[in-house]
Amino acid sequence: EAGVAQSPRYKIIEKRQSVAFWCNPISGHATLYWYQQILGQGPKLLIQFQNNGVVDDSQLPKDRFSAERLKGVDSTLKIQPAKLEDSAVYLCASSLGLQRGLTDTQYFGPGTRLTVL
Amino acid sequence: GNSVTQMEGPVTLSEEAFLTINCTYTATGYPSLFWYVQYPGEGLQLLLKATKADDKGSNKGFEATYRKETTSFHLEKGSVQVSDSAVYFCALSDAVQGAQKLVFGQGTRLTINP
């Protein structure tokens, strides 16, 4: 079974530029997550989709970050304009999307390492 | 809000030593608890999980028991190998709230020397 795919694996940009990341979840997984992992810290959820609807984007800096999940499958995360503090690994994860009250295991992609100069 | 606290690293051990990485949590409701591992250059992988009090998760010789009375989920392994060198993350997920956001600890870097 193929895992969560992400691209690119690495990206270097200058501040104020824009950048986009792509994620393809595991086939059949209804729920998709984007996390930001700053060096030396644990991942922090940015946004969660259930099919193509947003479930939680409370920690997404909406003035510069945007995300979409077209047709409930692939997703893109965009930063415009980028700041130095956006340097991090951006992780995509997916899960089956189980009913409330059941544990829904998340599977992670390899991540995209972003460096903002 | 929900939070996870892990013992600070880095942790360095010799091969075949006993490993404990402490993890405590603060949560409302009844969270599920997880240990994820991140090997060098790779993404996060689920190592083990426990979904209710007194459950024991185990995988690859690692174990962790969900202790509600002490709000802990410590990771243990009886005899570590060089290949266990990685960063370990403790996390919780509160399934009751529907949106199953994972809340992670800060991670513990483990190095095993031959």
Contacts of A55 in chain B (CB under 8 A): 98-99
A102 touches chain B (CB under 8 A): yes
- Report pLDDT for A7: 96
Ramachandran angles phi, psi of A104, nearest 5°: -115, 105
Nearest to B43 among A41, A104, A109 (CB): A109
From chain B, which residues contact A within 8 Å (Cβ)? 4, 32, 36, 42-46, 49, 51, 89, 91, 93, 95-102, 104-107
- Per-residue tokens: B37: 């591992």
Has residue B12 got a pLDDT over 90?
yes
Nearest to B51 among A4, A31, A103 (CB): A103
Has residue B100 got a pLDDT over 90?
no
- Report pLDDT for A96: 87
Q: How far is Cα of residue B36 from the mean position of the Cα atoms in its chain?
A: 6
Nearest one of A63, A55, A33, A53 to A45, comparing CA atoms: A33
Dihedral sign of CA atoms B2, B52, A91, A62 in order: negative
Chain-chain contact of B96 with A43 (C-beta, under 8 angstroms):
no
Going residue by residue through chain A, which has 117 residues, state the pLDDT in tens, using 9 for 90 and above. 689 999 999 999 999 999 999 999 999 999 999 999 999 889 999 999 988 899 889 899 999 999 999 888 999 999 999 999 999 999 999 998 766 656 678 899 999 999 999
Region B13-37: what's the mean pLDDT? 94
- Report pLDDT for B8: 82
Q: Tell me how far apart the alpha carbons of residues B50 and B31 are, in angstroms, rounded to a whole number.
A: 9
Q: Tell me how far apart the alpha carbons of residues A8 and B32 are, in angstroms, rounded to a whole number.
A: 32
Confidence class for position B40, pLDDT limits 50, 70, 90: confident
- Report pLDDT for A2: 81
Q: In whole angstroms, how large is the CA radius of gyration of chain A? A: 14
Share of chain B above pLDDT 70, in %: 95
Residue A36 carries which side chain, given as an amino acid letter? Q
